Amino acid sequence: MSERILSSERNAERLTLALHGELDMRLAPQLRQSLHRELEKIPPEVVVDLADVPFVDSSIIATLVEALKIVRGRGGKLRIASCRPTVRDTFEIARLLEPFGIA
C-alpha cells in the first residue's frame, strides 16, 4: 500500500496541494503520478503547501520543477507555500526560491 503523500483542495480559482511527510527518491514516482492526475485540469493558481514536509531531496525538487513547467505551459501559476527552514534551504541551494515564489 502506498503512503498518503498528497491531499488536494480545489475550487475554480485555486488548486491547493498539501504534501505530507519526508519526501525522497523512494516516493518521487508516486508523487509524479499524483501530480499529473491533479494537474489534468489546472485552475489559474496552483499552491503546493509544504507545511507538513520536513525533508525533500533532489528527486522531489525535480518532480516539482516538472509540475511547474506543466502549469506554466498551460498558462497557470504555481507557487510553494509554508516551507520549513530546512526545506526552504534546499530550494535556495537549488536556486529555485524565485521560480516557486518562496519568500
Overall number of domains in the chain: 1
Q: pLDDT at position 2, please?
A: 59
Indicate whether 1 belongs to any domain.
no
Q: pLDDT at position 42, please?
A: 80
Indicate whether 101 belongs to any domain.
no
Q: Is-contact 81 49, C-beta < 8 A? A: yes
Instruction: Give the model confidence (pLDDT) of 1-57 as tens digits.
Output: 457 899 999 998 999 999 999 999 999 999 999 999 999 988 899 999 999 999 999
The angle subtended at Cα 97 by Cα 38 and Cα 61, nearest 5°, is 50
Nearest to 59 by CA among 27, 81, 91, 95: 27
Q: pLDDT at position 1, please?
A: 44
DSSP state of 27: T
pLDDT at residue 78 is higher than 80: yes
Domain of residue 11 covers: 6-93
Indicate whether 41 belongs to any domain.
yes
User: What CATH number is attached to the domain comprising 65?
Assistant: 3.30.750.24
